Amino acid sequence: MKIPHFAPIPAALPATVPFVGPETLQRRRGRPFAARLGANENGFGPSPKAVEAMRVAVAGIWQYGDSTSHDLLQALSAHLEIPAAGIVVGEGIDGLLGLLVRLMVAAGEAVVTSEGAYPTFNYHVAGFGGVLHKVPYRDDREDLEALITRAHQVDARLVYLSNPDNPMGSWHDGTAIEAMLDELPQGALLLLDEAYVEFAPAEAVPRIAADDPRVIRMRTFSKAYGMAGARIGYAMGHPDLIAGFERIRNHFGVNRIAQAGALAALSDRDWLVHVQREVVAARDGIARIAMDNGMNALPSATNFVAVDTGQDGRFARALVDRLEEDGVFIRMPGIAPLNRCIRVSCAPAAELEILAEALPPALADLGAR
C-alpha cells in the first residue's frame, strides 16, 4: 500500500533542506567542531539577565506561553516607540517569513529577491507555490534599483531585502531604502529583513512611519541578543498587516522560556552595547586574519565577515570543506560571484585564533600560497 498523495504544491517540492546544520556536519565527521563560525550565531552570548530569566522560567515550563506575548509586546512597543498593534512576535524570523509568504502570496504569484540572498526565504516562497524572480547583486550589495525594476516587470507581491545583507555583510543607507519604497509597484510589499540591524551604523536604518502600508520589517533575538536557539523574533508593520498574522499564526507557538529571555534581553541595554563592541573587535580580528593569509575582508555591518579569497567558488568551497575537516565550521555564499568569498561569524578571540591557526596549512594544501 502507498501513502495517500500529497497536496499539489508540496507534491511538486523537492525534499529541500535550506541549510545542513553544524550538528549534522559534526556527526558526519565524527567529532565536534573546535570553532563554530558558520551560522552567524553570537558566541558572546545573551545578557546574563536573560540567562537568569530563562533559568527561572524553566520552573514554569509546564504552562503554555502567553499566546499574545503580551509583556514582550509591550516592552517592544516602548523600545521601538510604535504601537503594540504594529508588532507580532513569532518563532524567529524563519517562522515569520513563512507566515508572511502564506499571508501575501498565492500560488503562481511573483516574488522578487536577490540571487544569493537568504535561502530560507526562497524555501518558503517555493513552499507556498510562489514564483521567485532573482536579480544579481551589484558590487557585493543587493541592487535596489534592479529589485524595483524586476518587481514592476513581474508584478511582484513581495520584494525581499536584507539590510544589512546576509551573506555579504554589506548595507545600504536608510535613505536609499526610504526612496525605494516610493518606487515599489502598487500591490507589492517590501519585506525588510533586519536580522542584523543592531550591528549596523545608525544611518543604515531607514526612518519609516509605524503605519506605512508598503513595508514589513523583521527583527530577531537570535543575533545581537544571542538567543538563536530560543526561536523568537518579531515583525513590525501597519496594524492591518500585522493583524493578518492572527488569522494564520500558531497562537501558542512561542516557547515560554524564550519569551522570558527576550524580555530580559531587551531590558539590558548595557549588554547589547558590550556585544556590539565585541563584534566590532571580532570583525577587525577576522580582517587581520584574512590579510595575514593574503585574503581581503569585505566591510561588514553584521556579526559576520565575508572574506574574498581572491579566487573562485570552487576554491572557496574547497577551503570551507578543508576547514570543516580541521574542525572549523564556516559557510560561504552559494552563487557567483559572491561565492569567491567565505563567510566567518564573529566570535570570541579564542575561537578566531583556531581559525587563524587552521588557515595557513589549509591554504597551502590548496595551493594558494
- Considering only residues 227 to 286 of the shown chain, the ones binding a second copy according to CB under 8 A are 227-231, 237-238, 240-241, 243-244, 246-248, 250-258, 261
User: Least distance in Å: CB of 217 to a second copy?
Assistant: 14
- Is residue 155 a contact point for a second copy (CB under 8 A)? no
| Span interacting with a second copy, options 19-27, 197-205, 284-292, 330-338, rule CB under 8 A | 19-27
Q: Which of 60, 83, 201, 361 binds a second copy (CB under 8 A)?
A: 60
User: Least distance in Å: CB of 309 to a second copy?
Assistant: 26
- Is residue 201 a contact point for a second copy (CB under 8 A)? no
State which of positions 170-199 bind a second copy (CB under 8 A).
187-189
Q: Which of 31, 64, 83, 365 binds a second copy (CB under 8 A)?
A: 64
| Coil/strand/helix, residue 343 | strand
User: Least distance in Å: CB of 259 to a second copy?
Assistant: 9
Is the CB of 205 or the CB of 254 nearer to a second copy? 254
Q: Give the HSE-up count for residue 75: Cα atoms under 13 Å, Cβ half-sphere.
A: 18
Q: Which residue has the cell 495517500?
A: 4
Q: Report how far residue 323's alpha carbon sits from residue 341's, in angstroms, rounded to the nearest whole number.
A: 14
- Is residue 6 a contact point for a second copy (CB under 8 A)? yes
User: Least distance in Å: CB of 24 to a second copy?
Assistant: 6
The three cell numbers of residue 144 are 535596489
CA 232 from chain centre, in angstroms, equals: 12
Closest CA to 89 of 295, 230, 290: 230
- Is residue 360 a contact point for a second copy (CB under 8 A)? no
- Is residue 150 a contact point for a second copy (CB under 8 A)? no
User: Least distance in Å: CB of 140 to a second copy?
Assistant: 26
Q: Which of 76, 82, 89, 92 binds a second copy (CB under 8 A)?
A: 92
Residue type, 24: T
- Is residue 105 a contact point for a second copy (CB under 8 A)? yes
User: Which residues are within 8 A (CB) of 201 and not within 5 positions of it... i.e. 6 or more apart?
Assistant: 171, 301
User: Least distance in Å: CB of 336 to a second copy?
Assistant: 25
Provide the mask over 285-324, with x wherever binding to a second copy is found by CB under 8 A and - wherever it is not. ----------------------------------------
Q: DSSP letter at 91?
A: S
User: Least distance in Å: CB of 299 to a second copy?
Assistant: 25
User: Least distance in Å: CB of 368 to a second copy?
Assistant: 30
User: Following CA atoms 206, 78, 239, 179 in sequence, which dihedral angle do they give, to the nearest 10 degrees?
Assistant: -10
User: Following CA atoms 285, 287, 291, 292 in sequence, which dihedral angle do they give, to the nearest 10 degrees?
Assistant: 20
| Span interacting with a second copy, options 48-56, 144-152, 199-207, 352-360, rule CB under 8 A | 48-56
25 by Cβ neighbours in 10 Å (0-12 / 13-18 / 19+) ranks as middle
C-alpha distances out from residue 257 to 70, 177, 223, 230, Å: 14, 35, 17, 8
Q: Which of 35, 84, 95, 354 binds a second copy (CB under 8 A)?
A: 95
Q: Which of 214, 217, 219, 331 binds a second copy (CB under 8 A)?
A: 214
User: Least distance in Å: CB of 16 to a second copy?
Assistant: 7
- Is residue 202 a contact point for a second copy (CB under 8 A)? no
- Is residue 94 a contact point for a second copy (CB under 8 A)? yes
Q: Which of 37, 44, 72, 316 binds a second copy (CB under 8 A)?
A: 44
The three cell numbers of residue 24 are 549534522
Whether the Cβ atoms of residue 300 and residue 169 lie closer than 8 Å to each other = yes
Whether the Cβ atoms of residue 111 and residue 156 lie closer than 8 Å to each other = yes
User: How is 165-216 classified by DSSP, letter by letter?
Assistant: -TTT-----HHHHHHHHHHSPTT-EEEEE-TTGGGS-GGGS----TT-TTEE
Whether the Cβ atoms of residue 209 and residue 182 lie closer than 8 Å to each other = no
User: Least distance in Å: CB of 153 to a second copy?
Assistant: 17
Q: Which of 104, 263, 297, 320 binds a second copy (CB under 8 A)?
A: 104
